[in-house]
């Protein structure tokens, strides 16, 4: 009743030479809840539509339960799609809307028992005789879900099904969708640009950028070991702090990462990860610090693996149970272009075809494809840092979470401790170099 969905090097271009999905490979297990996550325009809906058979696959192969399915008509795929704009027939009651696909599938059969069972499951029995215009947005979305469920499909394909709803309803329906799909044990591919939604729903999350898969893994793995700076910045709230750093590794002194006016001194003996940073000597890197990696405390309170910084309080964001403190530490933020600009840059067409079959070439292509161009903006090595006036103006360069009971005011100079166990370092192209990429997320679980 549930099915495996596999995409092998699947590509799609609407304009010749400009792929919107570029060699995507994904294996979705039967009964799995997989979330496709990425910014607007990165190709999420196109992937879903190719799985549904509503969009032709230009290149690559789709397998359903191991069977080649590129040319299988949508009606033979046994999948139900739920869209953002719940497309209900306005002239039909909820009962008829839910029963309609059943009548098409089996014209002689009475749809009533299945419609009633579905309505009970969704708690919408009292809405069955109303028309869509007489329903609230959340109720309409439940009816749309009912229409998808009643068919007993072998997979659900959901394209931002909750984005038209208010936050409270969204949270409730999110929990319902999660419970329902797990109860039914049906493979679900769920598209969203909302990272919080992706993290709370998915068994695994696949992060797309400019049509290229960046990483696929459990929410925990994607958060704790992002493969590049784009994933690190896209996943997690508040957004990870990304600072421009410079590695200094003198032969006769302590290794440091300079952050503008201050530096992080890496403790001796160096950990394996920090030793690997030595090759970056003299190079600019991107330092990633999630807000939980930094705490407000005096240097004397430092535990092993914590190093001191100071920060000037520039802005306080009161959140009720916690406060987000924006500090100025004298460092410059690194910029991840796609997260500042809404549209991804098109791919270079010459990367589309593999001409060489060597292993090295394939590895290079794969590494290049994962990146989809540079994911962060840094000056080339040796070039003087840009003057502060050209930096995007953000209040503070380091955001730290704290409890509301710590008395803080604008302009205060505050001691901070950075936990180096939570330090991320990315190279100039945005790939993670610390923790070492050899530490695969799945081995961490």
Ligand X SMILES: Nc1ncnc2c1ncn2[C@@H]1O[C@H](COP(=O)(O)OP(=O)(O)OP(=O)(O)O)[C@@H](O)[C@H]1O
| CA dihedral over 217, 222, 226, 228, signed as positive or negative | positive
> Is there a contact between 325 and 316 (Cβ–Cβ < 8 Å)?
yes
Torsion of the alpha carbons at 12, 17, 19 and 24, rounded to the nearest 10: 70
- Cα angle: 376, vertex 377, 381; to 5 degrees: 115
Q: Which is nearer to Mg ion, 97 or 214 (CB)?
A: 214
If binding is defined by CB under 5 A, does position 46 make contact with Mg ion?
no
**How many Å from the N-terminal Cα to the C-terminal Cα in the chain?**
29
Binding-site partner at residue 40 among ligand X, Mg ion, none, CB < 5 to 8 Å by type: ligand X
For residue 406, the 8-state DSSP code is S
If binding is defined by CB under 6 A, does position 209 make contact with ligand X?
no
- Residue 40 CB, nearest approach to Mg ion (Å): 7
Tokens of residue 256, six digits? 């440091």
Pairwise CA distance, residues 230 & 209, whole Å: 8
Q: Which is nearer to ligand X, 42 or 186 (CB)?
A: 42
- Residue 382 CB, nearest approach to Mg ion (Å): 42
What is the CA 333 to chain-centroid distance, rounded?
21
**Residue in 1, 9, 14, 105 binding ligand X, rule: CB under 6 A:** 14
Q: Is the peptide bond before 435 cis (omega within 30 degrees of 0)?
A: yes
Instruction: Give the phi and the psi of residue 294 in degrees, each rounded to 5.
Output: -125, 135
- Residue 164 CB, nearest approach to ligand X (Å): 13
- Residue 361 CB, nearest approach to ligand X (Å): 28
Q: Three-state SS across 32-82? A: CEEEEECCCCCCHHHHHHHHHCCCCCCEEEEEECCEECCCCCHHHCCEEEE
- Residue 43 CB, nearest approach to ligand X (Å): 4
Number of residues that bind ligand X (CB under 6 A): 11
**Residue in 4, 20, 122, 235 binding ligand X, rule: CB under 6 A:** 20
Q: Which is nearer to Mg ion, 39 or 311 (CB)?
A: 39
If binding is defined by CB under 5 A, does position 45 make contact with Mg ion?
yes
Q: Which of residues 21-60 bind ligand X (CB under 6 A)?
A: 38, 40-46
If binding is defined by CB under 6 A, does position 193 make contact with ligand X?
yes
Q: Which is nearer to Mg ion, 45 or 181 (CB)?
A: 45
Tokens of residue 296, six digits? 């407000």
- Residue 41 CB, nearest approach to ligand X (Å): 4
Number of residues that bind Mg ion (CB under 5 A): 1
Binding-site partner at residue 193 among ligand X, Mg ion, none, CB < 5 to 8 Å by type: ligand X
Q: Which is nearer to Mg ion, 45 or 428 (CB)?
A: 45
> Is there a contact between 18 and 179 (Cβ–Cβ < 8 Å)?
no
Q: Which is nearer to ligand X, 159 or 273 (CB)?
A: 159
Q: Which is nearer to Mg ion, 38 or 245 (CB)?
A: 38
Interface with Mg ion by CB under 5 A: which range of 18-26, 37-45, 268-276, 393-401?
Answer: 37-45
Cβ burial, residue 101 (10 Å; 0-12/13-18/19+) = middle
Of 372, 305, 358, 306, give the one whose Cα is nearest residue 39: 372
If binding is defined by CB under 6 A, does position 246 make contact with ligand X?
no
- Contact set with ligand X (CB under 6 A): 14, 20, 38, 40-46, 193
- Contact set with Mg ion (CB under 5 A): 45
């Amino acid at each position: 009743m549930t099915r495996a969905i596999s995409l092998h090097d699947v590509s799609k271009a609407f304009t010749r030479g400009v792929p919107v999905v570029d060699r995507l490979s994904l294996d979705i297990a039967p009964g799995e809840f997989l979330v496709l996550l990425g910014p607007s325009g990165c190709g999420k809906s196109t992937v879903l539509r190719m799985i549904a058979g509503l969009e032709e696959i230009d290149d690559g192969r789709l397998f359903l339960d191991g069977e080649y399915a590129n040319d299988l008509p949508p009606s033979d795929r046994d999948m139900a799609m739920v869209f953002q704009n719940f497309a209900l027939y306005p002239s039909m009651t909820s009962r008829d809307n839910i029963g309609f696909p059943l009548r098409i599938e089996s014209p002689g059969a009475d749809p009533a028992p299945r419609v009633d069972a579905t309505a009970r499951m969704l708690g919408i029995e009292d809405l069955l005789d109303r028309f869509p215009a007489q329903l609230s947005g959340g109720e309409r979305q439940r009816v749309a879900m009912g229409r998808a469920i009643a068919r007993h499909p072998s997979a659900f394909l959901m394209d931002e099904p909750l984005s038209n709803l208010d936050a409270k309803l969204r949270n409730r329906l999110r929990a319902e969708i999660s419970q329902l799909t797990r109860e039914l044990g049906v493979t679900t591919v769920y598209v969203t640009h909302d990272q919080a939604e992706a993290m709370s729903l998915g068994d695994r999350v696949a992060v797309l950028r400019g049509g290229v898969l960046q990483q696929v893994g459990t929410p925990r793995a994607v958060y704790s070991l992002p493969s590049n700076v784009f994933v690190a910045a896209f996943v997690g709230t508040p957004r990870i702090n990304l600072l421009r750093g410079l590695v200094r590794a003198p032969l006769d002194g302590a290794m440091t990462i300079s952050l503008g006016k201050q530096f992080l001194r890496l403790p001796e003996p160096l950990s394996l990860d920090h030793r690997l940073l030595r090759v970056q000597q003299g190079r600019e890197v991107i330092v990633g610090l999630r807000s939980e990696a930094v705490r407000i405390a005096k240097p004397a309170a430092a535990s092993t693996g914590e190093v001191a910084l100071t920060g000037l309080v520039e802005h306080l964001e009161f959140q009720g149970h916690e406060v987000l403190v924006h500090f100025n530490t004298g460092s410059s933020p690194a910029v991840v272009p796609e997260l500042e600009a809404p549209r991804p840059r098109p791919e270079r067409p010459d990367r589309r075809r593999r001409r060489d079959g060597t292993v090295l070439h394939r590895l290079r292509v794969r590494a290049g494809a994962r990146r989809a161009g540079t994911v962060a903006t840094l000056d080339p090595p040796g070039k003087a840092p840009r003057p502060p006036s050209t930096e995007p103006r953000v209040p503070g360069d380091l955001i730290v979470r704290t409890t509301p009971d710590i008395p803080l005011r604008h302009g205060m100079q505050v001691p901070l401790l950075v936990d180096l166990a939570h330090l991320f370092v990315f190279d100039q192209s945005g790939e993670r170099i610390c923790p070492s990429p050899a530490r695969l997320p799945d081995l961490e679980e």
